[in-house]
């Protein structure tokens, strides 16, 4: 009989997320504060009205519930979000010999210190006497068929992965287990758009590290998985696509209507709201985005004039070897509330590269779908 992870589960509706560690949910008609164990961005999951799965916290805590999972999209695919239990799930899979390739290993210990790193699991083969450490990662970022980790930069994750890759390069057995919490995933890649250093480390150790991306088909009962399905990755995708070049979207906010002098365009009226600027950089992508974030600088691009009068909301890199700037602009033009003609497109035939939104686009399903398409779904060609 499947083993339950939680004694009690309750369904609720996601309302909002005041910070990384808590969210508000509606449960039985009441608004309650819930602990969010996954501190990742999860913008592609956390839409108002989405069904959450919650487990009650013990009395006396600030939060009434802990978030366990969430449903995504029209298909209501279930994603597991309780990172506090991820190591328990990994340990269960190892103990019950349900990870292909590691069936001959037992779980010897958890939270094992080696040098200046603390790894999640220590596996051992009783017959051969071999032991090796395993770091466990939870992956909840996914497109139609692909999954990527992480959804936000992780210095700790890169440090541990570097240690494992270094061990593997020296001929030692070292493991990485990525739990992919999306049952339909067919391939895995490190998220080089968001965390370039971790992704470079993964590529470096791709052939020597004993890594596994294990897909878990979660249901709303959230029982321990009876089996997992391993999926592969693509070295070619990383070698061709990953780098400090590509396209980007800069999100700004203008608090009140204003006419701004924009270089060669002259005075341009801007409505109150959010603006998304689409640009590209054949090299030094990170430096270009940092330039757009800064306020003190010489005026060069149209964007520089607008940035001076606006609040910075976010920067979204899309690292690629392809020229996607104009496709990205066309996609945004289809969902934007308005655009600013001729802005940022003096060297192309696009109507505009600046698009206006009444709401923060980084929380709109239509915007997140575009981001997903350009960051993840387009990589299907490598698989």
Structure tokens at 177: 């287990």
Q: What is the pTM of this model?
A: 0.94
What is the C-alpha separation between 1 and 101, in angstroms, rounded?
24
Looking at residue 268, its pLDDT comes to: 95
Looking at residue 77, its pLDDT comes to: 96
Q: At residue 217, does pLDDT exceed 90?
A: yes
Per residue in 160-192, pLDDT (tens digit) is 999 999 999 999 999 999 999 999 999 999 999
| Residues 27, 30, 31: CA angle, nearest 5 degrees | 90
Q: How many CB atoms lie within 10 A of CB 6?
A: 17
Kindly indicate the confidence band of residue 340, based on its pLDDT and cuts at 50, 70 and 90.
Answer: very high
Kindly indicate the confidence band of residue 350, based on its pLDDT and cuts at 50, 70 and 90.
Answer: confident
Per residue in 60-114, pLDDT (tens digit) is 889 999 999 999 988 999 999 999 999 999 999 999 999 999 999 999 999 999 9
Average pLDDT taken over every residue of the chain? 95
Mean pLDDT of 203-214: 98
Which one-letter DSSP state was computed for residue 232?
B
Looking at residue 344, its pLDDT comes to: 86
- Among residues 355, 313, 306, 357, the alpha carbon closest in space to that of 331 is found at 355
Q: What is the dihedral of CA 354, 356, 359, 361, to 10 degrees?
A: -30
More confident residue, 170 or 301: 170
Q: Give all domains of the chain, ordered by start, each with its CATH number.
A: 10-79 (2.40.50.580), 84-240 (3.40.1350.60), 246-382 (no CATH)
Per residue in 111-163, pLDDT (tens digit) is 999 999 999 999 999 999 999 999 999 999 999 999 999 999 999 999 999 99
Looking at residue 187, its pLDDT comes to: 98
Q: Are the CB atoms for 156 and 119 separated by under 8 Å?
A: no
Identify the weakest region by mean pLDDT among 148-162, 211-225, 293-307: 293-307
Which H helix or E strand runs over 178? strand 175-180
Looking at residue 2, its pLDDT comes to: 82
Contacts 24+ apart (CB under 8 A), 61-66: 61/35, 62/33, 63/22, 63/33, 63/34, 63/35, 64/27, 64/32, 64/33, 64/34, 65/10, 65/12, 65/25, 65/27, 65/32, 65/34, 65/35, 66/34, 66/35, 66/37
Per residue in 283-296, pLDDT (tens digit) is 999 999 999 999 87
Mean pLDDT of 23-29: 96
Kindly indicate the confidence band of residue 369, based on its pLDDT and cuts at 50, 70 and 90.
Answer: very high
What is the C-alpha separation between 22 and 36, in angstroms, rounded?
5
What is the C-alpha separation between 187 and 317, in angstroms, rounded?
21
Q: What is the dihedral of CA 259, 249, 36, 155, to 10 degrees?
A: -120
């Amino acid at each position: 009989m499947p083993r339950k992870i939680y004694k009690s589960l309750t369904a609720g509706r996601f309302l909002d997320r005041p910070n990384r560690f808590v969210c508000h949910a509606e449960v039985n008609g009441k608004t309650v504060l819930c602990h969010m164990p996954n501190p990742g961005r999860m913008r592609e999951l956390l839409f108002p009205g989405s069904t959450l799965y919650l487990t009650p916290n013990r009395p006396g805590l600030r939060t009434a519930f802990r978030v366990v999972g969430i449903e995504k999209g029209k298909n209501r695919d279930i994603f597991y979000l309780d990172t506090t239990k991820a190591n328990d799930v990994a340990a269960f899979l190892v103990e019950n010999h349900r990870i292909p390739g590691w069936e001959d290993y037992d779980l010897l210990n958890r939270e094992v210190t080696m040098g200046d790193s603390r790894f999640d699991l220590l596996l051992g083969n009783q017959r051969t006497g071999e032991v090796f450490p395993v770091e466990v990662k939870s992956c909840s970022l996914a497109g139609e068929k692909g999954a990527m980790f992480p959804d936000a930069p992780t210095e700790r994750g890169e440090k541990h992965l570097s240690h494992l890759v270094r061990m593997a390069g020296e001929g030692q057995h070292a493991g990485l287990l990525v739990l992919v919490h999306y049952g339909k995933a067919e391939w895995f890649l490190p998220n080089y758009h968001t965390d370039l250093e971790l992704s470079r480390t993964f590529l470096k150790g791709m052939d020597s590290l004993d890594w596994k991306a294990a897909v878990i088909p979660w249901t709303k009962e959230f029982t321990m998985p009876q089996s997992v399905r391993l999926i592969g990755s693509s070295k070619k995708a990383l070698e061709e696509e990953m780098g400090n070049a590509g396209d980007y979207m800069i999100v700004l906010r203008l608090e009140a209507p204003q006419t701004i002098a924009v270089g060669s365009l002259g005075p341009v009226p801007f409505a109150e709201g959010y603006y998304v600027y689409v640009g590209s950089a054949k090299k030094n992508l990170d430096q270009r985005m940092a330039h757009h974030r800064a306020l003190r600088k010489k005026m060069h691009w149209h964007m520089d004039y607008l940035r001076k009068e606006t609040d910075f909301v976010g920067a979204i890199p899309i690292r690629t070897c392809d020229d996607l700037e104009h496709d990205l602009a066309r996609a945004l033009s289809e969902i934007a509330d308005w655009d600013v003609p001729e802005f940022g497109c003096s060297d192309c035939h696009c109507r505009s590269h600046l698009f206006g939104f009444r709401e923060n686009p980084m929380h709109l399903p239509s915007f997140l779908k575009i981001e997903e398409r350009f960051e993840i779904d387009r990589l299907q060609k490598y698989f």
